């Protein structure tokens, strides 16, 4: 095994940084792709004038704090400063809208993926393209701004995602990894570029033609994994590392989305593999053998980091409500003077859920902090409901909230697996939901009725995946395919812990979903009765 200190001193370590919804995290890896240092910064989106957003100050302050904490971890473990790196890559939550003018000024506050304000645009583009355009996609945000006659639209010179903005600021390059780009505008997997026919259809729209720009001119350039996407500028190095230790000139990988880094971190970029990322939001991705038979509003078509077609079910809400309830239990413990470690509290409550009834005993939870297009909700209100004669136990309560975190995902995936008959050999789980061994994994296996594997590295998630993408760019052999690199150099011999679905759990989750569907009217009524 290599000495991490020597690797860092020689500048051979690789860094991945990902902007998640609630945490910015950095993972530094060695030449064998093992994490050797980490740093993190917690943050939260803000609801400002009805828009979910993060300020530029929060973005850059968070990035700098995250990077600094990684370097502090390096210093504490190895006693050296980080001055050079073999490669670096930035990733983030996909989609959303960041539009800039010719002076590189942000025209309107960053509109995140969480906003469900583009229903009209998404529906019209889906019809025009004969291709599902979800509300959170960047093109839906742009076209909704067009339909709204927003004053800033005429001044757009460039628009991109959060990861694209970070990359552009630090390197000067207006590019995106193709997986991230596929969440801005549809990709043609044959050409490995934006779909030319759909570009032409968009530019031909009457309400678009009055503007001075062409869509093809204001989109970032799409790059595949392995291509170099510029270098960290000297100014970018100072902006990232406020201490001034980090040198410029470091090769930078194409900025990817959390979907692409999740596929990478779980080695699910080949056909008939899939992964589920479960954190603030939750999404399932399956690499397709062939095209889907129909257009489904519940299914998104995106790509792997090398441009292969992927069917994706994305849900805006996953663990936020679950986390809020755990926080309430922590407050209860604190009130009684009990010192409870949060990791222990999560683990204890999650394991308690496994003691609950398979169908949660007529307890139903809605975890909707924001809208959920999969079930037709443009807004959400967290809601918990039970029948008067239900067994209101802690086990059933926790199980109902774990089920709720995956309920809309299951509804979307049922279309993929049951209607489209898509085959998947194994689903790989990663993200916070899987940190308590065996719990989230068994719940997901029941929801999907498919084997679920969790790698030992599942907790590292997206930033580790981004670091691997950067390492692939910097260290791959000539003509070495990405899936071969992952199989041979990153995951050689690793299969993770695989859990088969329990038939009784599957039946129980199906029964829960029936109650969930029936109670959706109550959730919709709550949205109407409690306006923001």
What's the pLDDT tens digit per position in 408-460? 999 999 999 989 999 888 898 887 888 898 999 999 999 999 999 987 765 56
Is 318:278 a contact under the CB 8 Å cutoff? yes
* Per-residue pLDDT tens digits for 352-396: 999 999 999 999 999 999 899 889 898 999 999 999 999 999 999
Domain boundaries, the chain: 1-94+163-176+219-266+461-491, 98-160+185-218, 268-454+502-532
Give every CB contact of residue 488 below 8 A, 6+ residues apart in sequence: none
Give every CB contact of residue 257 below 8 A, 6+ residues apart in sequence: 91, 92, 93, 94, 95, 161, 163, 177, 179, 180, 183
Q: Which CATH architecture has domain 268-454+502-532?
A: 2-Layer Sandwich (3.30)
Q: Which CATH number fits domain 1-94+163-176+219-266+461-491: 3.40.50.170, 3.40.50.300, 3.30.420.40, 3.30.70.260?
A: 3.30.420.40
Q: What is the rounded CA–CA span in Å between residue 200 and residue 206?
A: 12
Structure tokens that stand for 258 in this block: 């959390």
Across residues 109-128, what is the average pLDDT?
95
Structure tokens that stand for 274 in this block: 């899939």
**Topology agreement, domain 1-94+163-176+219-266+461-491 and domain 268-454+502-532:** yes
| pLDDT score, position 495 | 67
| pLDDT score, position 532 | 84
* Per-residue pLDDT tens digits for 223-234: 999 999 999 999
* Per-residue pLDDT tens digits for 26-78: 999 999 999 999 999 999 999 999 999 999 999 999 999 999 999 999 999 99
What torsion, rounded to 10 degrees, do the Cα atoms 158, 159, 163, 168 define? 10
* Per-residue pLDDT tens digits for 143-164: 999 999 999 999 999 999 999 9
| pLDDT score, position 245 | 97
| pLDDT score, position 496 | 76
Across residues 276-280, what is the average pLDDT?
86
> Which 3 state secondary structure label does DSSP give 79?
coil
Q: What is the rounded CA–CA span in Å between residue 521 and residue 9?
A: 60
Question: Long-range CB contacts (< 8 A, 24+ apart) of 115-119?
Answer: 115/51, 115/52, 115/141, 115/370, 116/316, 116/370, 116/371, 116/372, 116/373, 116/377, 116/378, 116/379, 117/50, 117/51, 117/144, 117/378, 118/143, 118/144, 119/378
Q: What is the rounded CA–CA span in Å between residue 93 and residue 334?
A: 33
| CB crowding 471-485: b at 16 or more within 10 Å, else e | bbbbbbeeeebbbeb
Give every CB contact of residue 457 below 8 A, 6+ residues apart in sequence: 35, 265, 464
Give every CB contact of residue 220 below 8 A, 6+ residues apart in sequence: 158, 160, 164, 168, 174, 175, 176, 181, 184
Q: Which of 403, 383, 401, 374 is nearest to 116 (CA)?
A: 374
* Per-residue pLDDT tens digits for 319-341: 999 999 999 999 999 999 999 99
Q: What is the largest CA-CA distance in the chain?
A: 66
């Amino acid at each position: 095994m290599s000495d991490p200190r020597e690797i860092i001193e020689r500048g051979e370590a690789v860094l991945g940084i990902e902007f998640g919804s609630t945490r910015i995290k950095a993972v530094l890896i060695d030449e064998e792709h093992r994490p050797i240092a980490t740093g993190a910064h917690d943050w939260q989106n803000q609801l400002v004038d009805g828009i979910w957003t993060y300020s530029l100050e929060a973005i850059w302050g968070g990035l700098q704090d995250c990077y600094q904490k990684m370097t502090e971890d390096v210093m504490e473990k190895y006693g050296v400063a980080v001055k050079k790196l073999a490669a670096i890559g930035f990733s983030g939550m996909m989609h959303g809208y960041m539009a800039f003018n010719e002076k590189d000024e942000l025209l309107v506050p960053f509109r995140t993926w969480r906003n469900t304000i583009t229903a009209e645009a998404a529906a019209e583009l889906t019809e025009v393209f004969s291709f599902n355009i979800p509300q959170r996609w960047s093109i839906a945000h742009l076209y909704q701004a067009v339909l709204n006659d927003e004053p800033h639209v005429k001044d757009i010179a460039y628009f991109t995602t959060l990861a694209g903005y970070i990359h552009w600021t630090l390197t000067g390059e207006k590019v995106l990894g193709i997986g991230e780009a596929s969440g801005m505008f549809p990709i043609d997997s044959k050409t490995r570029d934006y779909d030319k026919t759909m570009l032409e259809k968009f530019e031909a729209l009457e309400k678009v033609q009055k503007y001075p720009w062409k869509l093809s001119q204001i989109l970032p350039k799409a790059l595949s994994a392995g291509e170099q996407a510029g270098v960290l500028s000297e100014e970018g190095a100072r902006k990232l590392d406020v201490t001034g230790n980090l040198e410029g000139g470091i090769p930078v990988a194409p900025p990817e989305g959390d979907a692409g880094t999740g596929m990478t971190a779980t080695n699910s970029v080949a056909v008939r593999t899939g992964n589920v990322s479960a954190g603030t939001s939750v999404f399932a991705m399956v690499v397709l053998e062939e095209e889907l038979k129909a257009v489904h509003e519940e299914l998104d078509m995106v790509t792997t980091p090398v441009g292969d077609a992927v069917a994706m079910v994305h849900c805006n809400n996953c663990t936020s409500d679950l986390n809020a309830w755990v926080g309430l239990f922590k407050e209860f413990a604190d009130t009684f003077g009990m010192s409870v470690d949060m990791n222990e509290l999560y683990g204890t409550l999650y394991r308690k859920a496994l003691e609950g009834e398979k169908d949660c005993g007529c307890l139903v939870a809605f975890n909707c902090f924001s809208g959920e297009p999969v079930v037709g909700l443009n807004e959400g209100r967290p809601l918990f409901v039970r029948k008067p004669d239900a067994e209101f136990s802690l086990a059933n309560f926790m199980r109902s909230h774990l089920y709720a975190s995956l309920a809309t995902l299951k509804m979307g995936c049922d279309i993929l697996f049951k209607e489209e008959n898509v085959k998947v050999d194994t689903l790989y789980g990663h993200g916070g939901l899987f940190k308590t061994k065996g719990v989230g994994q068994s719940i997901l296996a029941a929801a999907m009725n498919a084997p679920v594997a969790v790698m030992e590295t599942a907790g590292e998630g997206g930033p580790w995946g981004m670091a691997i993408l950067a390492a692939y760019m910097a260290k791959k052999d000539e003509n070495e395919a990405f899936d071969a690199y992952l199989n041979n150099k990153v995951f050689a011999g690793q299969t993770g812990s695989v859990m088969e679905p329990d038939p009784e759990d599957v039946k129980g989750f199906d029964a829960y979903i029936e109650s969930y569907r029936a109670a959706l009217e109550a959730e919709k009524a709550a949205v109407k009765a409690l306006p923001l």
